[in-house]
Structure 1
Amino acid sequence: LHLQALESIHEGYLYKTKIVDVSKKKIKKNWTQIYVVLQGSNLVFYKDQKSAAHKQGSPFGKPEGVVSLQGAHVELNPKEHTSKKNTLSLRVSAGNVYLFQSDSEKENLEWFMHMKLVARDVSPQVETSPRDVDTQEVKKEDKKSEKGMVRSLSADEYSNLHGIDKNKNLVGIRAKLLNLISRRPTQEDLYKRGIIKDAVFGSRLQELCEREKVNVPNFLQKCIAAVEFKGITHDGLYRISGNMAEIQRLRCAVDTDDTYNLRDEQWDIHVLTGALKLFFRELKEPVFPFNMYDKFSDAIKKELKKDKLSAFKSAISNLPKCNYATLKELFLHLCKVVDSSHLNRMQTQNVAIVFGPTLLWQLSPVEGLAVQTVYQSRIVEFILLEYNELFK
């Protein structure tokens, strides 16, 4: 897929706020107007329409944030979150909740249906009955569009569309929306055309490797190669944070375009290292699987080095194939970073502190955060020190 062939599914101005959890009390941040583009399976946020314009060397404009719709839940006019009209809520897979407000009810319904279809969210919106809909008017509209129709709506989508409001004055708008959505290509067709893609960030490692038919994700291989090409002697490599907006722009490029070039001059080395860490943090399950966490934490607690080494070898040998190959590739790269510590000042312990919480965490933490962080760092440090023994 080439950039010039990439299309946005829907775009326009919306008011946005995010619900944050402060000491178990949910509060909303201020509402701000932004320009939103639904591109592939991502919702991309821009300051204004001008920032979303494609330019040479900046094919995705200047995004301020990206949210994946994979596994998201969309709700129309969520009364539990706001009393404002023409709103919808978006709960993403990570658990964050965003609220959006449109200028009109029709525009709000369009955004709702577009997000719902891309997210493949088929949970019922409200309980409805077929008698709530003027079926004669719907049939009339359907007949007009029959020639250009690609597919009919599923039962769930039909229920979502016609159960939005029981006010008979909105039946005409519902029918027109039904016509609009019915004319859209099937999701299978959108996948074939490359408009909707399975995301790289926020995926499951095994599913990503199976999809790409590799043992180590393509992005990770390209990112490591690009970092080593640009030089691992940069001071504070992996410790210094890259520009977050640029990291999100890179993430957007990776998720929507197969032809991305990480060696391009536009990608600063700290943006690349930031993206690599973000990739691991956003995995649905860490590269050290949840069911393996206790084995590694028990191994690091052993007193004698030979016992510790034996326990680590046993745990690593039991890793799934793609997890083993990915860790082997990553730690080989990190060992090279440590070997240049006299220039980049990233000794073994420094690298371990950075990557410990990024590579493994508990599904349901039973230890305090401080204790867990210590174990995470010590596990990574031990693997770095004993890499040749553990992965030979």
Structure 2
Amino acid sequence: MNIKRPGPSEDGVIEGSLIRKHEWESTTKKASNRSWSAVYTVLKGGSLLFYKDQKNFKTQPDAYFRGENPVDLSSGNVEVASDYTKKKNVFRLKLSSGGEYLFQARDDEEMNLWVRGIQEVSLEAAGAGPSRAQTLPASSMEKKDEPKKRGFFTLKKK
């Protein structure tokens, strides 16, 4: 069987087979099924979608693995799971809801491709474009020569 290397397709989607372990449902609740499962994973439009295999993704794009909803990546954090020593090529996805997944890729190159792809999508989903520092308008900077106004609690006794 010829398995397609994951990578960006024509429409910006990354897809491929990964081994997944759902660790946490939320910050206080462990996932009910924490075993490793082979899933066909699709990174598309700010979400991770999971399928039984590539055929299911192509023929039934709304039939997700075990009926799970897509994982929203906004405010998500992905990193190489260097502290996880039981398997190689593992990365961790932490969600703003407290949910946490471990994913195992075939090799180091594939793992880094997924990590970079998820980082890019989660940054885009979190906010449109990079944040910019705001500066005060020039008119407020010109008031330096005026005496400082004191608040109620900063008055000193004379």
**TM bucket by the smaller chain?**
0.5 to 0.7
Q: Which runs of 5 or more structure 2 residues have no equivalent in the other structure?
A: 1-9, 128-158
Partner of 2:97, secondary structure, is coil
* Residues 11 and 38, structure 1, Cα contact 8 Å, conserved in 2: yes
Letter in 1 for 2:109: K
- CA root-mean-square deviation: 2.8
Counterpart position of 1:15: 19
- Between the aligned residues of both structures, percent identity stands at 31
Separation in structure 1 between the aligned mates of residue 49 and residue 23 of structure 2, nearest angstrom:
18
Q: Which has the higher helix share?
A: 1
Partner of 1:29, secondary structure, is coil
Q: What is the aligned counterpart of 2:73 among 69, 76, 88? A: 69
Q: Deviations over 1:17-55 (max 9, x none)?
A: 11137xx6967711010100001101000010101005x
Partner of 1:107, secondary structure, is helix
Instruction: Find out whether 1:53 has 2:58 as its counterpart.
Output: yes
Counterpart position of 1:104: 107
Q: What is the aligned counterpart of 1:44 among 40, 49, 72? A: 49
Counterpart position of 1:117: 120
* Residues 74 and 126, structure 2, Cα contact 8 Å, conserved in 1: no
1:94 CA displacement: 0.9
TM-score with structure 1 setting the length:
0.26
* Residues 24 and 98, structure 2, Cα contact 8 Å, conserved in 1: no
Q: Which runs of 5 or more structure 1 residues have no equivalent in the other structure?
A: 1-5, 121-186, 188-195, 199-392
* Residues 10 and 37, structure 1, Cα contact 8 Å, conserved in 2: yes
Q: Which has the higher strand share?
A: 2
Report the count of equivalent residues.
Answer: 112
Separation in structure 2 between the aligned mates of residue 49 and residue 34 of structure 1, nearest angstrom:
9
1:71 CA displacement: 0.4
1:85 CA displacement: 1.1
Separation in structure 2 between the aligned mates of residue 68 and residue 78 of structure 1, nearest angstrom:
24
Instruction: Find out whether 1:33 has 2:34 as its counterpart.
Output: no
1:82 CA displacement: 5.0
Which of structures 1 and 2 has the larger relative contact order (alpha carbons within 8 angstroms, sep 6+)? 2
TM-score with structure 2 setting the length:
0.62
